[in-house]
Amino acid sequence: MEGVFLKRTSGKYDIIVVDPPPPVEAAGSSLLYSKEFYELAKQHLKPGGILQMWFPGGEVLTGQAVIRSINESFPHVRCFLSVARWGCHILASSEPIEQLDANQLATRMPESAKNDLLEWNDSQDVPAYIGRVVNSEFFAPELLNSDPEVQITDDQPLQ
């Protein structure tokens, strides 16, 4: 059941990370891409908090529905292709999301996070690795379908 933890807590968070299992169209997963879920998550973000959502990719129409649902739920959305090009990572917030370059991000990371990031990578160049993601940003509204019904809601999950 989507959002059970968020429905049971009054906690506020700096970041909420959502990494649903593919396929997106699965009943349990698709509701984690719904406008209602994003509204619930937004209620649990601290000021300046960020929702991070992984979309594993799939049909073009599915991607358009995911992007519309999050884009209409949050005023600030940034999208990045994943390093291995397995879908994309979406950052969403009620407030502007700070834009940092790869060197600035690497400088802010604790050593343990840098080690985790490079665990499956041949390179040990953290800024270069981060740069592969930062430099893959794309503008989400350009991907929106002209049909406003192409979205995901609890009443209109993916099928």
Q: Which residues are catalytic?
A: 19
Q: How big is the CA angle at 35 (ends 31 and 21), to the nearest 5 degrees? A: 30
The C-alpha torsion from 136 through 86 and 58 to 61, rounded to 10°, is -10
As given in the structure block, the two tokens for residue 129 are 């690795």
Calculate Rg over the CA atoms of the chain: 16
Q: Which amino acid does the sequence have at 81?
A: L
